[in-house]
Amino acid sequence: MATEADYVWGTGVTEQQRLLQQIELYVPEASWLLDQLEIKPGSRAIDLGCGPLGILDLLSKKIGPQGEVVGVEWESRFVELAKDLLAQRKLENVKVMVGDATATRLADESFHLAHERLLLIVVPDPMKVISEMVRLTQRGGVVVVEDVDISSWLCEPAHPAWTRLFSAFEAVYGRDGKDLRVGRRLPGLLRAAGLSDIGCKVHTRLNGPGDFHQQQLLVFVKLFWQQIIASGLIEEDELQVLFDQLERHLADPGTLVVSPLLFQAWGYREAF
């Protein structure tokens, strides 16, 4: 089973706040997605890698009080935070547990819907997660995946510091096989897992001052600062100069940032 040290973004207060902001950001996209799936009241749903909330609250509303939602998250701090948030919102049809998304140990075919969001970008073998989702899903049920593709992530006007830092961040992040462009692969992964009636939708946003993705590259570069230096991609003095240049550029009210593409894909298990 994975440990908390394996989570690349960290589990501190800053990361918890970032995740909660991200969850709120994607409520419209997640709501649209669930509306396409015709989830029946009384169903059972599971959200793998749910973090401090994921879409547990949205699933809870969809399935109603007679249904059940299970969240699985390997970071114990996020599980405790999720339990607090669920208690505050009085969502009694949801429970959260510490577990590995590739090996939950839950019963075969025990859910009508299995979902993950932004989990496949933090694992080197996404198919292990999808295979577990398929195993957990009943015949006729649906597997739902949401992940990003950073190919659209750019700033306008363009800036050389963005290009250097973006390339260095992606190179260091993917050194153990993790893929920040996995979003485009989602339909193919679902087909490879034996699912049918594959659907797909792509979302993106344009970000100005104060919007979520406007400063996110700087946040991630800071997080991977030592790894970038150790990799030899950028010397420390130059890294600081590039960081300062980009910080000033992104702070300009005239600078816009296009967010990463959010791919949503879903597929059904054959009924027989």
| Number of other CB atoms surrounding residue 6 within 10 Å | 11
Report the pLDDT averaged over residues 67-85. Answer: 94
Sheet holding 68-73, edge to edge: 94-98, 68-73, 44-48, 111-117, 137-149, 261-268, 196-203
- What mean pLDDT value characterizes the chain? 92
pLDDT at 124 over 60: yes
Q: Which domain holds residue 199?
A: 4-268
Element (H, E) at 191: helix 186-192
Question: Where residue 118 sits, what CATH number does that domain have?
Answer: 3.40.50.150
What is the crossing angle of helices 56-63 and 76-88, to 10°?
Answer: 50
What is the Cα Rg of the chain in Å? 19
Of 3 and 228, more confident: 228
Name the percent of the chain lying above pLDDT 90: 85
3-state DSSP assignment of residue 267: strand
More reliable by pLDDT, 133 or 213? 133
Please write the tens of the pLDDT for every residue from 102-117.
999 999 999 999 999 9
User: Dihedral angle at the C-alpha atoms of 153, 154, 155, 161, nearest 10 degrees?
Assistant: 120
Position 3 pLDDT exceeds 60:
no
Q: Is the peptide bond before 187 cis (omega within 30 degrees of 0)?
A: no
Query: How many independent structural domains does the chain possess?
Result: 1
pLDDT of residue 62: 95
Q: How far apart are CA 56 and CA 61, in angstroms?
A: 9
Distance between CA 254 and CA 170 in Å, rounded?
26
User: How many H-runs (helices) and E-runs (strands) does the chain carry?
Assistant: 10, 10
Decide if 242 contacts 161 (C-beta within 8 A).
yes
- Return d(Cα 154, Cα 166) in angstroms, integer: 9
> Residue 13: its pLDDT value, please?
61
DSSP string, 111-131: EEEEEEES-GGGSS-HHHHHH
